[in-house]
Amino acid sequence: MASADLALDKGLPANLEAERLVLGSIMIDDSLFVQVAGVLQADDFALEKHKRIFSRMAELHERNEKIDRITVANELLKHNQLESCDGLSYLVSLDDGLPRTPNIDGYVRIIRDKALLRRIIFASQKLIDRALSGEEEPDEILASAEETLLKLNDSRGSGGLESPSEIIQGYEGGINAFLDPSKRIKGLSTGFIKFDEMTGGLHPGELIILAARPAMGKTALALNIAQHVACGQNPQTVAIFSLEMSKESLLTRMLCAAARVDSQKFRAGYLNQNERNRLQTAAAQLAAAPLFIDDTPSVNLMDIHAKLRRLKAEHGLGLVVIDYLQLMSGRGRFENRVQEISSLSRGMKLLSKELEVPMLVLSQLSRAPEVRQGDHRPQLSDLRESGSIEQDADVVAFIFREEVYKPEREDLRGTAELILAKQRNGPTGKINLVFLRQWTKFENRASDLGEDEAPPPPEDE
């Protein structure tokens, strides 16, 4: 055995006999390589020479060449590694003691388990070193620790290729539920009827981009949706990350929207008793809602990841809102801002899939709609700083209020459009909404509501 093997010198978990028998089994029957390579990689072997042998086997397999003692020895010789692997004699000895019917799956499982234990030890030692050096903030080290352990857990994931039969059998309720639309999993309702009809709601694992020019109402619409999800008939936990506004400002917006109180009057303090009563009722409702707000201005994706995992473990998780993408910064070095935004959008998509929760991410648009002649409606090409946002998103929606561009038109007052520009699993189109500026609130048009659904106008004393 090579004396330079760090894992063995330190007494780390390893089972060299299982490693030897796996390699020996492949030498005898090279058709087993595909079965093994689907689960193990070279770094899972503790012994350095076993890593090299397995790597050379992989190269032979890629070239569709037979794997046996001679071909592996020749491949090692090409890389000047045969001597470090104790020569042809060691390759010949690999199948010594191998049962007539080798338990290849059992050997592979042992190797994987030992490799995971070693990775846990290495990760823990690295974290200890970082903590002892004191060069980073404790919260940053903690977030990194959670992410590292999560990745180690993901590496054991059993997901893989499944046949239609296996997918249907694994579906809750079996084939009857799979084929019955009324029993299929539906997304979260946003409270906007036409939007829900077109999208089926917000679905777990989806990245939804809500974009607009400044002052169009991105934050207002996102808060309206978050409030509907957290305070609706079937409340779901909502996490809001605001990189622009304080948590007090966000809460004020939600209170005024829920109580239908003029936000300017609220800030100035000129409220009558009826308005105060409505605010108290709205405050009690929000206080009881599973709604959580984080207004850390410099939060990054790793921080969000760690916070969401804790929140999901403690309270569950139904929806994540991030306001907004361009204010975030990525970890690491990037050649330009476009690459950084691309990394963030991809990371958010992966995070939504991992946590199985819809992520509603707000985004700025470029100035193109402002200078466009005639129609100022946004287009997908207007997404600011990165085309990968469009690529990663499952849904891209734009807010457009023509009254901003034509303030003299009384007939446009309060009209708004939610433009569904991209939907991976459904149609695109335009949804007409009402924007109530004094309450910073979007609502369905009266024509989209039933007689019993229209909200009664508040009566001020």
For residue 415, being part of any structural domain is answered with: yes
H or E segment and range at residue 74: helix 69-78
Residue 225 pLDDT level (bands cut at 50, 70, 90): very high
∠ at Cα 249 (244, 251), nearest 5°? 120
Question: How far apart (Å, rounded) are the C-alpha atoms in residues 363 and 388?
Answer: 13
Q: What is the pLDDT of residue 393?
A: 85
Domain boundary residue, one of 90, 115, 140:
115
Question: How far apart (Å, rounded) are the C-alpha atoms in residues 190 and 448?
Answer: 14
Residue 454 vs residue 35, higher pLDDT: 35
The answer to whether residues 227 and 94 belong to one domain is no
∠ at Cα 250 (245, 251), nearest 5°? 150
Token pair 């009266």: residue:
446
The answer to whether residues 111 and 191 belong to one domain is no
The neighbouring-strand residues paired with 85 are none
H or E segment and range at residue 111: helix 104-133
Question: How far apart (Å, rounded) are the C-alpha atoms in residues 367 and 357?
Answer: 32
Helix and strand numbers (H, E) in the chain are 19, 9
Q: Under a CB-based contact definition with an 8 Å cutoff, are residues 25 and 130 in contact? A: no
Buried b (16+ CB within 10 A) or exposed e, 352-382: beebebbbbbbbbbeeebeeeeeebebeeeb
Instruction: Please state whether beta strands 429-436 and 415-423 pair in parallel, antiparallel, or not at all (unpaired).
Output: antiparallel
Question: How far apart (Å, rounded) are the C-alpha atoms in residues 415 and 442?
Answer: 10
Give CA separation, 94 vs 44, 53, 79, in Å: 18, 11, 20
Question: How far apart (Å, rounded) are the C-alpha atoms in residues 398 and 209?
Answer: 8
Q: What is the pLDDT of residues 126-172, one digit of tens each?
A: 888 888 888 877 877 777 777 777 667 655 555 555 667 766 666 66
The answer to whether residues 206 and 100 belong to one domain is no
The answer to whether residues 100 and 249 belong to one domain is no
Question: How far apart (Å, rounded) are the C-alpha atoms in residues 205 and 354?
Answer: 7
Question: How far apart (Å, rounded) are the C-alpha atoms in residues 363 and 51?
Answer: 46
For residue 457, being part of any structural domain is answered with: no
Which residues constitute the domain of residue 403? Answer: 186-448
Report which residue type is found at 266: F
The answer to whether residues 368 and 238 belong to one domain is yes
The answer to whether residues 249 and 111 belong to one domain is no
Domain boundary residue, one of 57, 92, 115:
115
CA quadruple 299, 303, 305, 307: dihedral positive or negative?
negative
The answer to whether residues 111 and 210 belong to one domain is no
- Give the N- to C-terminal CA distance of the chain in Å, as an integer: 89
Token pair 């999560």: residue:
150
Q: What CATH number corresponds to the domain at position 428?
A: 3.40.50.300
The answer to whether residues 203 and 76 belong to one domain is no
Domain boundary residue, one of 67, 89, 115:
115
H or E segment and range at residue 226: helix 218-231
Token pair 């059992």: residue:
106
Q: What is the pLDDT of residues 439-458, one digit of tens each?
A: 888 888 877 665 555 555 55
The answer to whether residues 197 and 62 belong to one domain is no
For residue 147, being part of any structural domain is answered with: no
Q: What is the pLDDT of residue 239?
A: 92
The answer to whether residues 65 and 195 belong to one domain is no
Burial class (CB in 10 A: 0-12, 13-18, 19+), 218: buried
Q: What is the mean pLDDT of residues 335-347?
A: 76
Question: How far apart (Å, rounded) are the C-alpha atoms in residues 217 and 458?
Answer: 22
Token pair 């050649």: residue:
335
The answer to whether residues 289 and 409 belong to one domain is yes
For residue 141, being part of any structural domain is answered with: no
Q: What is the pLDDT of residues 50-106, one digit of tens each?
A: 999 999 998 888 888 899 989 999 989 999 999 888 888 898 888 787 777 778 888
Token pair 């036409």: residue:
194
Q: What is the pLDDT of residue 157?
A: 52
Q: How many CB atoms lie within 10 A of CB 303?
A: 21
H or E segment and range at residue 212: strand 207-212
The neighbouring-strand residues paired with 321 are 240, 360
For residue 417, being part of any structural domain is answered with: yes
Helix H segments across 316-433? 337-355, 368-371, 388-392
**Paired tokens of 298:** 């410099």
Q: How many domains does the chain have?
A: 2
Q: Would you call the peptide bond into 324 cis, given omega within 30 degrees of 0 as the criterion? A: yes
Q: What is the pLDDT of residues 418-443, one digit of tens each?
A: 989 888 888 888 989 988 887 888 88
Q: What CATH number corresponds to the domain at position 34?
A: 1.10.860.10
The answer to whether residues 94 and 236 belong to one domain is no
Candidates 146, 147, 244, 417; catalytic one: 244
Question: How far apart (Å, rounded) are the C-alpha atoms in residues 13 and 118?
Answer: 6
Q: What is the pLDDT of residue 2?
A: 43
Q: Under a CB-based contact definition with an 8 Å cutoff, are residues 99 and 22 in contact? A: no
Q: What is the mean pLDDT of residues 118-124?
A: 87
For residue 460, being part of any structural domain is answered with: no
Give CA separation, 308 vs 311, 313, 320, in Å: 5, 8, 9
Q: Is 244 part of the annotated catalytic residue set? A: yes
Residue 1 pLDDT level (bands cut at 50, 70, 90): very low
For residue 81, being part of any structural domain is answered with: yes
pTM over 0.75: no
Question: How far apart (Å, rounded) are the C-alpha atoms in residues 83 and 342?
Answer: 46
For residue 265, being part of any structural domain is answered with: yes
